[in-house]
Structure 1
Amino acid sequence: MKRFICRLAPLVLCLFSLTSCWSSKELNEVAIATAIGIDKSDSGYHLSVQVLNPAEIVSFNPTSRTAVTTYQTDGETLFQAFRRLTVEAPRKVYFSHVQSVVFGEEMAKSGILKTLDFLSRDHEMRTDFLLVIAKETTAEELLTVLTPMDKIPASKMVSSLENAEKNWAPTHTVKLDELINTLVGDGVEAVLTGVLLKGDPEIGMDMGNVEKVHPPTTIQISNIGVFKRDKLVGWLTEDESKGFNYLQDNVKSTIINVPCSDNSAASVSIEVISTKTKLTSKINNHIPTITAAIQMEGNVGDVECKTNLTNPQNLKEVEESVENDVKDKMVKSVKAAKELKSDIFGFGTLLYRNHPGEWKVMKQNWDEAFQEVEVKYEVNVTIPRLGTITESFQRKGDD
C-alpha cells in the first residue's frame, strides 16, 4: 500500500500544474473576422472588418442573408478603432482567422508602418495573413463586395492572389513578417500587390451581384505597388511586375508569347515551367554592377503559325525570342524602380552581403547611388518538350 501511495503522489502533484481553458470562448460568443480593411480618416483610421455569418455558410437551406457582414468604425489609433468595434458588432470580434489585411490606397500613400505595430503586437493576430492594397479605391469598398463561387470574399481574394502568383507571375504574396523585415531593413524597399474593384461598389454589396452569370461588380488582382520606406510611391505595369518577379526568383509559371519565325503576324506561346535566378555583384570605380543570371525551362503550349518546331534552328530562334522577352521585362522593371527611386530588388542588401566596406559608404547616399547601378542580364532558356503533337495543324493543312 505504501508503495502504491508513493507512485500515486507524483501524479497527484502534476494535477496542480495543469491549467484549464480559462480563456476559451464558445463559437456563439464571438464573431470570426476574415479580413481587415484600413483606410485613412480625419480622426486617424477608418477600420473595416469582414466577419462570418456561420449559419449561412454551413446551412443546407440558406436564407437571403449574406455569408459575411462588414462592420466599420473610426479611431485615433488602430487599437482604439478595434475596441470601438464593440459598439457595432453584436459579439466580440475574434481575429485569429484573418486571411487578409487591405490598405486603402490613400492609407498606403500616407504610410503604413504605424499600423503594423498593432498587427504584430496583438496576441490574437497570427502573422500568416496576406497584405494587399485597394488600388484606386478604399479598403471599405473592397470588403463590402460579394463574390460568386466563394461565399467569403476574403477567401476569394486570397485564392485569386495565390493562383495569379503561381500561374501568371505579375503578383507577389506578402505576409506580415516579410513586410516588416523589408521595411526595417537596409538596402531594400517593400512591395505589395494591388486589388482592383471593377464595377459599382453599391451594386457589389447586393446579393443580386452573385446571382448573375456575369457579375456586374468583381474583385480583380492587379499589379505590384512600389513603396519608398513605408509609403506607396507608384505602381508597376504588368510587364514591369513580371520583370520584378524574374529578378527576385519569384516566378513559378507563366506564359510568354513570341513571334513566329515565318514572318507571320501569329505567335508561339511558351509555358514557363521552372526558373532559377541568381544575383551577383561587383564594384568598379565605386559603381556597382549587378548580374542577373536566369536559367529557364519551358514547354510549347500553342503554335498559331506554320513554323516547324521540329527543326532545331526554328526552335533555337523561339528560345532566343523568349530570352529577349524576359530580358526586356527585367529592363523595364529596373527602369521603373529607378524612376521611383526605390530599390525593390534588394540590390543594396546584396552589396551589403558581398561588399560590406563599400556598402557602409554607399548606404549614406543610396537613393542617388541606386540610379548609377548597372544591371547585366544573362538569360538562358531551353524548351525540351513540344507537347503531345510535333507539328502545327496549319502545316498539315498545307500538305
Structure 2
Amino acid sequence: MKNKFIAVLVIVTIVLNISGCWNRRDPENLALVLGMAFDMDPATGMYQVIAQIANPLALGGQDSGQGGGAQKKPFWTLSASGRIVFEAMRNLTEASSREFFWAHNRIFVFSEEVAKSGIYPIMDAVDRVRHLRTSSHVTITDGDVKKLMEAEFPLEETGAKGLDRQIVTIRYERSIFPVITINELHNELAQPGREMFIGKFEVPKSSEQESGHDSKTSAPPPAIIGGGAMFKGDKMVGWA
C-alpha cells in the first residue's frame, strides 16, 4: 500500500511539472513580421535589417474600434543596424513594444549592395532564427530597398503580401522572373559549382509627387518585376 502511495505521488508530481504552457506566446503580445529586407552601409560596413510588421489596429485586430481620426496604415516598417546580421535583427526589438514572431514572413529582399558583398552571412543568421519558414520567396532589389518595403499595393492589405502575390502571379502568367525560396537558396549555396540566379524587383525612381501628376492612374507601380541577379558563389556579379 505504501509503495502504491509513493508511485501515485511521483506520477502526480511529474504531471504537475510538465503540464501548462510555460513558454506560451499570446497573440496580443506578438509583432507579426510580414517581410524582411537586408541592406549594407558601404561607408561603415554595417548591416541594416528592415522589417515590415502587421498593424493589428488597422487590420481589424484588437482595439480596432477604439480611437478616431485618420485611418491607420495596415503595416509598420522599422529598421536597425548592426556589425553582424544577428545583432541588427536583435536591435529591432529596441523600437518595438512586442516580441517579434517570424513565422508569418512572406518574403526576403536583398539590396544590390549587400548582394555584392555576399549573402552567406545573412543566410546563416536567417537559418538560426526560430519559426522562420523556408518557403519564403527571395528577391534582389534594384533601387532603394527601404522604399520598396514601405510601398503600398492598391489591391493588397500589406506591401509584403503584394510583393509575394506579384511573384506568384508572374510565375504562372509569364516566365520573366526566376522564383526561388529560402530552402532552394540554401541548396544552391551547398552545391559547389552551381551558381544562383535570383529574381529582381526594380524600384521606380520617380513618384507621383515628383512627376507632378495628381491622378492615381498616372502614378508608377510600387515595383517592377522582371529579370534577375547573377551570382558567383554567394556574391552578386551583375544583372540579367
Same fold (TM over 0.5): yes
Larger mean CA deviation between 159-168 and 11-20 belongs to: 11-20
- Give per-residue Cα distances to partners, 1:304-357, cap 9 Å, x unaligned: xxxxxxxxxxxxxxxxxxxxxxxxxxxxxxxxxxxxxxxxxxxxxxxxxxxxxx
CA deviations on 1:255-312 (whole Å, 9 max, x unpaired) are xxxxxxxxxxxxxxxxxxxxxxxxxxxxxxxxxxxxxxxxxxxxxxxxxxxxxxxxxx
- 1:163-242 aligned at under 5 Å gives the runs 163-200=169-206, 212-236=216-240
Identity of aligned residues (%): 23
Q: What are the residue-to-residue correspondences of 1:348-367 with 2, within 5 Å?
A: none
What is the one-letter code of the residue matched to 1:219? A
Aligned alpha-carbon RMSD (Å): 3.1
Q: How far 1:234 moved relative to its partner?
A: 1.7
Which residue does the alignment assign to 1:143?
Answer: 149
Q: CA deviation at 1:213?
A: 4.1
| SS of aligned partner of 2:59 | helix
* Alignment of structure 1 residues 259-338 onto 2, 5 Å: none
User: Contact 1:43 / 1:75 at 8 angstroms: preserved in 2?
Assistant: no
| Alpha-carbon contact 2:207-2:219 (below 8 Å) kept | no
Calculate the TM-score normalised by the size of structure 1: 0.51
TM-score, normalised on structure 2? 0.83
Rg larger for: 1
Post-superposition offset of 1:214: 4.6
Change (3 A) 1:17 1:44: same
SS at match of 1:54: coil
Structure 2 residue aligned with 1:93: 100
Instruction: Name the residue aligned to 2:60.
Output: 58
For structure 1, which segment, 17-26 or 108-117, has the greater mean C-alpha deviation from structure 2 after superposition?
A: 17-26
What SS class does the counterpart of residue 132 from structure 2 fall into? coil
Aligned counterpart, 2:46: 44
2:102, 2:130 within 8 Å by CA — same for their partners in 1?
A: no
Query: 2:131 aligns to what?
Result: 124
> How many Å separate the matches in 2 of 1:133 and 1:88?
26
1:35 to partner: Cα distance: 0.6
Which consecutive residues of structure 1, in runs of 5 or more, have no partner in the other structure? 237-399
Q: CA deviation at 1:101?
A: 0.8
Please give the alpha-carbon distance, in whole angstroms, between the structure 2 residues aligned to 1:203 and 1:79: 37
1:147–1:203 Cα change, 3 Å: farther
**Residue 71 of structure 1, aligned match among 70, 78, 85:** 78
User: Do 1:111 and 1:230's aligned partners in 2 also have CA atoms closer than 8 Å?
Assistant: yes
**Counterparts of 1:12 and 1:138 in 2: how far apart (Å)?**
60
Offset, 1:92:
2.3
SS at match of 1:177: helix
Q: Could you say which structure has the greater relative contact order, defined with CA pairs below 8 angstroms and 6 or more residues apart? A: 2
Quick one: which of 151, 157, 168 aligns to 1:162?
168
Instruction: Indicate the residue corresponding to 1:152 in structure 2.
Output: 158
Stretch of structure 1 that moved more, 51-60 or 78-87: 51-60
Cα deviation for residue 192 of structure 1 reads: 0.8
Please state how far the C-alpha of 1:217 moved relative to its aligned partner. 4.5
Give the strand-richer structure, 1 or 2.
Answer: 1
Q: Show the counterpart of 1:28.
A: 28
Q: Which runs of 5+ in 2 are unaligned?
A: none
Query: Number of paired residues?
Result: 229
Structure-1 residue corresponding to 2:113: 106
Does the CA contact (< 8 Å) of 1:147 and 1:219 recur in 2?
A: no
SS at match of 1:132: strand
